A and B are shown apart, each in its own frame.
Chain A
Amino acid sequence: MKLKVIAFIAVLLCAIVISCQSEAEQDFKRYYTGGAVIYKEKCQNCHGANGEGLSALIPPLTDTAYLKKNKARLACFIKYGIKETIITINGKAYEGSMPANVDLTSIEIAKLLTYMGNSFGNKMGTIAFEEADADLAKCK
């Protein structure tokens, strides 16, 4: 009897874990594919299909260390643009400006960040709507 209950609980736990995992995975997929569409439309012309950038004019999106370190600022970069700030990417200085995308919503920015953060050699996992929203509230 006891054994049966334990087995039942174990199976239940397994089921919960598996279903949660796949839900998280599904979330990731949804964010990632949605982000890919927005990237193509709003970012690819400048940063390139492979996030390669353009010479010394536009920085690549491949500096994993930079992106990790500045994770909380990325949503602001995308929404409000970057104006003549010197940014060092892969050891090279860039000082152009990037246009704002004020019409993008928090969820769209979260999707975009999830796509960018898990493409071009980056592995940042899902960047959820709540996280993007909180970051956006702190933009200067």
Chain B
Amino acid sequence: MRKLAALLLVTLAFAACKFNDAAKPKLPIMGNRDAVTKVVDGKQVTDTIYHTIPDFKFVNQYGDTITQNSLKGDIYVADFFFTTCPSICPIMHRNMLKVYNEFKNLPDFKIISHTIDPKHDSAAVMKKYADKLGISGNSWWLLQGDKEATYNISQDYLVKRPGPDAKEIFMHDGYFVLVDKQKRIRGMYDGTEEKEVSAMIEDIKTLRTEVDTEIAQ
């Protein structure tokens, strides 16, 4: 009898855990949102339009053209840096390496790092940087392209637009921006803080389960 009670207790505990799992809060969806009302089958429905990352066209360290289509079906993290940056970039990429090593074997995860100094950071320079950083394959792309386009897209990622002298005074935001498969921003983390980057690694795991269930439905 006692044994039975114990068994029941254990089962209940497990069930409670399961329940908690399902009720786990999703990550927030960041940025401005709009509500649009449209008529579907004669009924008024209100849809929320979330802020999304627009299409882009850059070149990665292998010289391949990368557009939003290249990230189709991927969760990704974006940041902004330049290869000769002596201030916060080494800290950011020391931390990003942890993210890379955690997820590099997943087919649906990527990291993209935009250079804010495209004049110096050619694809060849970026390839050399990637080699020295110790990254290979296609899970971390270093993107180079039109300076104006890069600075514009930084605002779509909700980070501060680098100033005209961003390179000279080595000032730019050190954020890691987490983007879901629907191109919505789901998290912003200070890439210079080890703790925040650890939190991001956990959030990426959460986001993957969320997206997988959404697809299954």
Using CB atoms and an 8 Å cutoff, list the residues of chain A in contact with chain B. 45-46, 48, 54-58, 99
Give Cα A21 to B97, complex, Å.
45
Q: Which residues of B contact A54 (CB under 8 A)?
A: 90, 93-94, 133
User: Is B86 in contact with A57, judged by CB distance below 8 angstroms?
Assistant: no
B86-A99 in contact (CB<8A): yes
**A45, A46, A57, A99: which contacts B132 (Cβ < 8 A)?**
A57
**Given A45-B91, A54-B94, A54-B133, 7 more pairs with CB closer than 8 A:** A45-B88, A46-B90, A54-B90, A55-B133, A56-B131, A57-B90, A57-B129
Of the A-B pairs whose beta carbons lie under 8 Å apart in the complex, a sample of 15, sorted by A's number, is A45-B86, A45-B87, A45-B90, A46-B86, A46-B90, A54-B93, A54-B94, A55-B97, A55-B133, A55-B134, A56-B132, A57-B90, A57-B129, A57-B132, A99-B86
Instruction: Give the CA-CA distance A54 to B98 in the complex, in Å.
Output: 12
Q: Which residues of A are found within 8 Å of B97, using beta-carbon distances?
A: 55
Chain B residue numbers with a CB within 8 Å of A55 are 97, 132-134
Residue of A nearest to B92 (CB): A45
Taking the nearest CB of chain A, how far is it from the CB of B94, in angstroms?
A: 5
Residue of A whose beta carbon sits closest to that of B135: A55
Binary interface profile of B, 66-102, with partner A (CB < 8 Å = 1, else 0)? 0000000000000000000011101101100100000
Query: Quick check: A56 and B134 within 8 Å, CB to CB?
Result: yes
Digitize B89-119: 1 where CB-to-A-CB distance is under 8 Å, 0 elsewhere. 0110110010000000000000000000000
A58 close to B133 (CB less than 8 A): no
A45→B132 CA distance, assembly (Å): 17
Smallest Cβ-Cβ distance to B131: which chain A residue: A56
B-side interface size class: 10 to 19
Q: Chain A nearest CB: distance from B192 CB in Å?
A: 8
Nearest residue (CB) in B for A49 is B194
A56 to B135, CA, bound (A): 11
Closest to A55 in B: B134
Shortest Cβ distance from residue B136 to the other chain A in the assembled complex, whole angstroms = 12
Which of chain B's residues has its CB closest to A46's CB? B90
Q: Which residues of A contact B87 (CB under 8 A)?
A: 45
Cα of A48 to Cα of B91 in the assembled complex, Å: 8
In angstroms, Cα B132 to Cα A99, docked, is 19
Interface centre among B97, B129, B132 (most CB of A within 10 A): B132
Say how far A64's CB is from chain B's closest CB, in angstroms: 22
Separation of A46 and B131 alpha carbons in the complex (Å) = 17
What 7 pairs across the A-B complex have the smallest Cβ distances?
A: A56-B132, A55-B134, A57-B132, A99-B86, A46-B90, A45-B91, A55-B133
Chain A nearest CB from B120 CB (Å) reads: 13
Are B90 and A56 neighbours in the complex by a CB distance under 8 Å? no
Residues 125 to 158 of chain B near chain A (Cβ within 8 Å): 129, 131-134
Please name all residues of chain B whose beta carbon is closer than 8 Å to the beta carbon of A48 when the two chains form the complex.
Answer: 94
Q: Which A residue sits closest to B83, measured CB to CB?
A: A57
Bound Cα distance from A127 to B117, whole angstroms: 39
| Contact A58–B134 (Cβ < 8 Å) | no
In the bound complex, what is the Cα–Cα distance between A127 and B85 (angstroms)?
30
Q: How distant is the Cα of A13 from the Cα of B175 in the complex, in angstroms? A: 61
Nearest neighbor of A45 in chain B, beta-carbon distance: B91
